[in-house]
Amino acid sequence: MIIRTEGLGRDFLVGPRLRRRRVSAVADVTLDVAPGEAVGFLGPNGAGKSTTIKMLTGVLVPSAGRAQVCGLDPVRERRALARRIGVVFGQRSQLWWDLPLAESFALHGAIHRVPAPRHRERLDECVELLDMAGFLDTPVRQLSLGQRMRGEVTAALLHSPELLVLDEPTIGLDLASKERLRTFLSAVNARGEVTLLLTTHDLPDVERLCRRVVVIDRGRVLVDDELATLRRRFAGNRTLVVELAEPAPPLLGLPGVVDVAVEAQGLRQRLAFTGNAADLIAAVARRAPVRDVGVDEPSIEDLVRTLYTRPARA
């Protein structure tokens, strides 16, 4: 496993010295992440995401349980672990502010002792895929946020880490920059070169990059499953959008349909349903002439909202 935790926990003492109390930021987190996975690690502010990541990267010592990352103890073997992981924090930089971007990359290669041919090969790939050739000689302080984040991801990948931890990597980016980063990260992960652990409030990042989602709240894991499975379990009904060749009355009484909304004088109908989409499409075609159909899946926003508000959290 790339990440393995058992009963991981972290407490903090808060308040004035004479009235300090112990607060549990993370409690009993057990998690396995296999090589090549892309896992979305989600939760509201204060859920324990950042504290967990700091323990996984050796920044914080756990109060309870244990963790292994890339087969290493993150605290005792922090220096060795740093050579095998990459970390990108959306609001913190690992680039040298006054240096041209290319010189930051050269320094990162030297720090990680990356052989020159491998450094050049990796850098050339990132420059091409992230379209950075036009600003390699620009000081980091003069880069736009989108350009800087492309540089941050490149710096984290230059030493070919086994695990890339991404904490809000697209925060503040425009749509074009977000899509460029998502495409690049998806391609790198699809080739099996790096395992991704992604924390974000930008849920389209998760939909684009991750098959598996771990949701944490109040320091505890609420759910850990495939995104598609969670959608089926918690995100409500799917909707079949039917474009008809001619107006028709509401398509009521079809198998699995729980609600029908009629638009455009009956030419378009939205059928909320459970069950098999193909069976429902066939039933619709028997009822009325169909010009086009599509299925709207429940959004990940709805899914996460449902998980946060389940009665089990009370």
Q: Is the entire prediction scored with pTM above 0.85?
A: no
How is the chain split into domains, by residue range?
3-232, 237-297
13, 22 in Cβ contact below 8 A?
A: yes
206, 304 in Cβ contact below 8 A?
A: no
Question: Could you list the pLDDT tens digit for every one of the 314 residues in the chain?
Answer: 999 999 999 999 888 887 888 889 999 999 999 999 999 998 888 888 989 999 999 999 999 999 999 999 999 999 999 999 999 986 678 899 999 999 999 999 999 999 999 999 999 989 998 889 999 999 999 999 889 989 999 999 999 999 999 988 887 788 888 888 889 999 999 988 899 999 988 878 888 899 999 988 888 998 898 887 887 777 667 889 999 999 999 999 998 898 999 998 889 999 988 878 888 999 999 999 999 998 887 667 677 777 766 654 43
The Cα-based distances of 234 to 116, 227, 303 in angstroms read 50, 10, 6
* CATH topology (fold) of 3-232: Rossmann fold (3.40.50)
Q: Order the strands of the 220-226 sheet from edge to edge.
A: 85-89, 163-167, 195-199, 38-42, 212-217, 220-226
Backbone angles phi and psi of 149, in degrees to 5: -70, -35
DSSP string, 100-126: BHHHHHHHHHHHTT--HHHHHHHHHHH
* Tokens encoding 156: 């984290």
